[in-house]
Structure 1
Amino acid sequence: MAFGLSLYSLGWTAFLLPANIVSGGVSGIGALIYYATGGAEGGGIKIAYSYLVINVFLLYLGIKVLGGKFGVRTVIGIGMTAFLLWLGQLFIHSSPLKLPDERLLATIIGGGLCGTGLGLIFTQGGTSGGTDIIAMIVCKYRNISMGKMILLCDVIIIGSSYFILKDFTSVVYGYISVGVVSFAIDLVLQGTRQSVQMFIVSKSYDSIADRLSSEVGRGVTVLNGQGWYTKEEQKVVMVLVRKFETNQVYKICKQEDPNAFISVVNAMGVFGKGFETIKAK
């Protein structure tokens, strides 16, 4: 969570803010307040202060309306994000890019860092609060999906930047940044959740199965098979792992039997303990 929040804060303070770009969420509202009160030249109200105050208010409102649905990670996420945004604006006074010529590049890099950071936060079960709370409150009383509500909030926040910056280009860059953020979040979440099914044929199947179970921490199934050419009985080790765990499986197989036959198949979905939860009603 700390690393993800650091990337998120870096995207804002090193790329989006110096380029006068407003993205979505409560950070976007903080950026509007920052620009409206003078920005970097006029000593504007730092985004961290607005972010913290707005989120504390939303958190209080959320608890009042929705009850105790917000865990410790939400509070930690809000506090850490505010601190890192404050730290970023304290030490980062200009963008590493040549602005305003490279505003589009700043939009892509800033959005990519924010999206990657948020994706990492979500994989750890964390949240940075913000417009998610607004969406949850509205969804309680209106028949509208959370995704549409969050998107509507982002559209309104970015569109409002025109009245402060008086620059239509900034609005366009703001919408591009939201698209990049969304793409980066999906990329991170899909990468961490993608699973593969591995079949391993080896005479050292027992030692491989033991190490997969103890070192990788995944359930292992040993199937009975027969080599049709040799007519010999074979044992086939089957294991389902996350894609990032495959190198560990390869390493174990190579150490136990360099001649092991391995087949790897991408799994469209894996449901059960250690993987996804079945959500069908």
Structure 2
Amino acid sequence: MKSVEVYLERKQWTKYMLCVIGALIYSFGMNAFVVPVQLYASGVMGVSQIIETLLVEKAHINLGGFNLTGTIYFLMNLPLFFLAVRQIGKQFLLKTGINVVCVTFFMSVLPVPRIPIMEERLTCAIIGGIICGVGSGIALQAGGSGGGLDILGIYLAKKNKEFSVGRLSLIINGVIYGICILLFDVSVAIYCIIYSTFAAMIVDKVHTQSINVEVMIFTRTDGEAICNIIIQEFNRSATFWKGVGGYTEKDTVIVYSVLSKYEATILRRMVKEKDPHAFIVLQEGCHIAGNFQKHL
């Protein structure tokens, strides 16, 4: 049977591609829906937008139409990279670096429509939030991030199992949009909050490592062997007991565990290799109390 490392190694190159794709989707959502209606994104990107606005409108610096937001975003992420490599890992840093560089590039080259695609700010806030949330979620799913608050969110989520990347974004963005009220207009802050709320919800849906899943496996093979797979390959615990099939009236073994949705997908493939006839039940969104570590 293949180990978890084999599955992960086989997918490694696709994860780098997903970081690029996630950056492209995020940048498209920003330049096509958020920027044209003068809304501000969440986290470090929002701060970068505010800085560019202050440079252009308050300091009257002529940038010649160049979108400086991506460059500012890149420079602000540099200090956070050190947090990622020291606390989270080099692979996370590499994938995050790819995503941040691509976001900087795409936001600089993708055109910003002079006339918004949608006239209503509310519509742009919702659609932009959904698209940007998908892009950020894809980067997180690939094992990297969009930088900024994603790095800090991943770090805090590893420290506290009740924490999520989207939740941190909502907290920090409350402060950012409070500043927007003082600098710009109340309506701008309201639409920005709508944007960040939708983006945060989509991030937590796409980022399957943050979704807990109950796993029940019904098999006629050795239940202890499947438990060992869960313990050794995923560093999780599991429980198994013997039962009797209601229809077949034959002995069966039930294995129970809780994993992330991402881990459960790999486990399902591994169990099917060991027992093609195994019956597997997955239940998402279970609430957990006790010693359960997030593997992000």
Q: Please confirm whether the aligned pair reaches a TM-score higher than 0.5, indicating the same fold.
A: yes
Cα root mean square deviation, aligned: 5.1
Q: 2:93 aligns with which of 45, 50, 74?
A: 74
Structure 1 residues 129 and 17 mapped into 2: Cα distance closer, same or farther (>3 Å)? same
Q: TM-score, normalised by structure 2?
A: 0.60
Match of 1:140 in 2: none
Q: 1:225 aligns with which of 221, 226, 243?
A: 243
User: Take 1:125 and 1:9, find their aligned partners in 2: how far apart are those partners?
Assistant: 19
Alpha carbons 1:8, 1:113 under 8 Å: kept: yes
| 1:53, distance to aligned residue in structure 2 (A) | 1.9
1:54 is the counterpart of 2:73: no
Match of 1:7 in 2: 25
Q: TM-score, normalised by structure 1?
A: 0.63
Secondary structure of the residue aligned to 1:92 is coil
User: Take 2:280 and 2:169, find their aligned partners in 1: how far apart are those partners?
Assistant: 44
Match of 1:155 in 2: 174
| 1:172, distance to aligned residue in structure 2 (A) | 1.1
Alpha carbons 2:132, 2:199 under 8 Å: kept: yes
Q: 2:137 aligns with which of 111, 115, 119?
A: 119
Alpha carbons 1:221, 1:238 under 8 Å: kept: yes
Deviations 1:70-114 (A, max 9, x none): 643336524532433432341333289634x23212111212222
Structure 1 residues 25 and 75 mapped into 2: Cα distance closer, same or farther (>3 Å)? farther
Name the % identity.
22
User: Take 1:150 and 1:262, find their aligned partners in 2: how far apart are those partners?
Assistant: 35
| 1:30, distance to aligned residue in structure 2 (A) | 1.6
Alpha carbons 2:153, 2:168 under 8 Å: kept: yes
Q: 2:39 aligns with which of 10, 18, 21?
A: 21
Structure 1, unmatched stretches of 5+, are: 137-144
Match of 2:157 in 1: none
Match of 2:124 in 1: 106
Q: 2:255 aligns with which of 216, 226, 238?
A: 238
Match of 1:43 in 2: 65
Structure 2, unmatched stretches of 5+, are: 1-18, 155-162
Deviations 1:115-154 (A, max 9, x none): 2333333344433432577899xxxxxxxx9999865642
1:277 is the counterpart of 2:290: no
Deviation larger for 37-46 or 47-56: 37-46
User: Take 2:98 and 2:265, find their aligned partners in 1: how far apart are those partners?
Assistant: 32
Alpha carbons 1:111, 1:178 under 8 Å: kept: yes
Matched residue count: 252
Deviation larger for 185-194 or 168-177: 185-194
Match of 1:141 in 2: none
| 1:31, distance to aligned residue in structure 2 (A) | 1.2
Secondary structure of the residue aligned to 1:120 is helix
Q: 1:92 aligns with which of 81, 100, 111?
A: 111
